[in-house]
Chain A
């Protein structure tokens, strides 16, 4: 498979700071892959997302998205391939009603109205918000607004979805629902998903994790590889998944467990075998 995103030697610094916000970033994301970007506050996660679709222009380095190199000429083409769902659902709601908001991106691209109506309807159905089409944003909950934001991106039919801490303001149930929706879309449409997150359980479900620290890539690896570091992650200002915490607590109490990260399922399996051999 081709690379959906490929970044090499990316540097970026904000005008009011002499520190590099992004320092020599290199990574590739394969088409159809779900990659999580984790890191503490101020590690450069959101800056990275904005560099990918040209909202911020890199100081040096190249960004390639869907076969196009990011430049002034390609920036709008690249934006049509990448959909970003931002953190605060209120501040990214442009339209006066749900349907208007979903149509906003399509209007911008001059999609003819009959097709627009179809795509809005389809996007609403995918996020299960069909009954809310005429609602105003003030009458929606945070989770519902976030789902509308996702529907707005889906309607644009991008190849890549970037979730910039989009689930951070949701309750656990809403978060799970949104992630399930995105996952389902990824399966159906072959989307590439880049999720920037503080939610460690969300990251644990990704194919690969990019660990950012102070503007640099500390490590790229599968969740198993990353979470095998255990308490080292805590020193980087990050959390570890529940299964890893449980494993640690068990080994402190003398239960012998294999090295490396076990996800919940494998931990359950192992504990179950452990019990049966006794």
Chain B
């Protein structure tokens, strides 16, 4: 269970850690967007240098990022292989039936590999340097304009915040119920797929029921502490942009300009 992506936050005290979560969220999405501008070796080199520089700034060990790539490695290799085998053009090195090993195929395969790695590095950086809680704040703040369209932003933010807060609690509970059922003879994770699915029922139903209890208790506690809905509330947590956020923004613009100039 501890492989979960959420909450893999690595506490730190770096320039990247101190950026406003809104900046980080927007910049990550923007960065992933402009990766698609890169289409030759100069642009990919630039992106790699920039990414490694940002990782260096975050003061987080590179091994964390490599670990982020690991679960996706088969998907990456599969895509790259397909790309290599089925693209045609340029010098042909090898040809057998449907399969062509060509210059363009190899180049495209390499590009796609790099693209994957860059995207994973950047999204890993976002989750490693930002607390899930600040991310929730960032989402709320960024969605605020939707209020004009009567979208319940404040309620969504509350739901998100409570969901995040209860993730570890529910995980603890899951482990507890699993152990309790094991002690009564339930066998998790053995047998064929139907037996395995059946074994999950004594885990799911108690978890479901206990969620109702928790929800009711929580609602009671919230109401007795004066919660009357989203309006007219003040906020304890506030997000503030700093100089470093401006620097990050300027940096992103500069990077885009450089990419546009360098690309084919």
Residues of A with Cβ closer than 8 Å to B? 50, 53, 55, 76, 79-80, 82-84, 86, 88, 90-97, 99-100, 103-113, 116-117, 120, 136-138, 152-153, 156
With A55-B224, A107-B234, A107-B236 as contacts: A96 and B161 at CB distance below 8 Å = yes
Binding site of B, secondary structure by majority: helix, strand, loop or mixed? helix
A-B pairs, top 4 by smallest CB distance, nearest first, are: A92-B221, A91-B217, A138-B168, A103-B236
Using known A-B contacts A91-B213, A107-B235, A136-B168, determine if residue A55 contacts B161 with beta carbons closer than 8 Å.
no
B220 contacts the other chain (CB 8 A): yes
Q: A105-B226, A109-B226, A113-B235 are in contact. Are A86 and B221 (CB under 8 A)?
A: yes
**Interface contact A110-B233, CB-CB below 8 Å:** yes
Chain B window 204-225, contacts with chain A (Cβ cutoff 8 Å), 1 for yes, 0 for no? 0000000001100110111111
- Which residue of chain B lies nearest to A99 when distances are taken between CB atoms in the complex? B236
B residues 113-139 touching A (CB-CB < 8 Å): 133, 136
A115 to B99, CA, bound (A): 71
- Closest residue of chain B to A85, judged by CB? B221
Report if A108-B172 is in contact (Cβ < 8 Å); known contacts: A96-B133, A103-B236.
no
**Does B222 contact A94, Cβ atoms closer than 8 Å?**
yes
Once the chains are docked, how many angstroms separate the CA of A106 from the CA of B232?
11
Besides A53-B224, A90-B214, A112-B234, 13 more A-B contacts (Cβ < 8 Å) are A86-B220, A91-B217, A92-B217, A94-B162, A94-B222, A96-B133, A100-B236, A107-B234, A113-B235, A113-B236, A113-B238, A120-B236, A156-B226
Q: Does B59 contact A (CB under 8 A)?
A: no
At the interface, yes or no: B263 with Cβ under 8 Å from chain A? no
Let me know if B217 and A79 touch, CB within 8 A: no
Contact of A76 among B162, B226, B233, B237 (CB under 8 A): B226
Least Cβ distance of B238 to chain A in Å?
7
| Interfacial chain B residues near A91, Cβ < 8 Å | 213-214, 217-218, 221
CA distance A95 to B228 in the complex (A): 16
A137–B169 CB distance below 8 A: yes
The residue on A at minimum CB distance from B137 is A96
Residues of B within 8 A of A53 (CB): 224
> Which of chain B's residues have a CB closer than 8 A to the CB of A88?
217
CB neighbors of A among B137-153 (8 A): none
A100 to B161, CA, bound (A): 11
Cα A64 to Cα B172 in complex, Å, equals: 42
Interface residues of B in 148-200 (CB under 8 A from A): 161-162, 164-165, 168-169, 172
| Interface residue? B251 (CB, 8 A) | no
**Contact at B218–A110, with CB atoms within 8 Å?**
no
Most chain-B CB neighbours within 10 Å: which of A53, A90, A120, A153? A90
Chain A positions within 8 Å of B136 at CB level: 96
Q: Whose C-beta in chain B lies nearest to the C-beta of A139?
A: B168
Given A84-B224, A91-B217; A138-B233 close (CB under 8 Å) = no
Q: Does B227 contact A (CB under 8 A)?
A: yes
Shortest beta-carbon distance, A148 to chain B, in Å?
Answer: 12
Picked from A90, A100, A106, A152, the residue with its CB within 8 Å of the CB of B237 is: A100
A-B contact pairs, 17 of them (CB 8 A): A76-B226, A80-B226, A83-B225, A86-B220, A88-B217, A91-B214, A92-B218, A94-B162, A94-B222, A94-B225, A97-B133, A103-B236, A105-B226, A113-B236, A120-B236, A138-B169, A138-B172
Smallest distance from the beta carbon of B45 to chain A beta carbons, Å? 40
**CB-nearest residue of chain A to B222:** A94
Evaluate contact between B165 and A137: CB separation under 8 angstroms: yes
**A117 — which chain B residues lie within 8 A by C-beta?**
236
Inter-subunit contact A76/B236 (CB<8 Å): no
Q: Which residue of A lies closest to B216 (CB)?
A: A91
* Distance in angstroms between the alpha carbons of A92 and B224 in the assembled complex: 10
Q: Are A96 and B236 in contact, CB atoms less than 8 angstroms apart? A: no
Cα A74 to Cα B33 in complex, Å, equals 54
- Identify which of B169, B222, B228, B236 gathers the most chain A CB atoms within 10 Å of its CB: B236
Give the residue of B162, B169, B226 whose beta carbon is less than 8 angstroms from that of A108: B226
In the complex with contacts A94-B162, A136-B168, A137-B169, A156-B225 CB distance below 8 A: yes
Inter-subunit contact B169/A90 (CB<8 Å) = yes
- Residue of A84, A91, A103, A120 with most partner-chain B CB within 10 A: A91
Query: How distant is A146 from chain B, measured CB to nearest CB, in Å?
Result: 12
Q: Which residues of chain B come closer than 8 Å to A156, judged between CB atoms?
A: 225-226
A93 touching B165, Cβ below 8 Å: yes
A57 CB to closest chain B CB, in angstroms? 13
- Give the distance in Å from the alpha carbon of A106 to the alpha carbon of B226 in the complex: 8
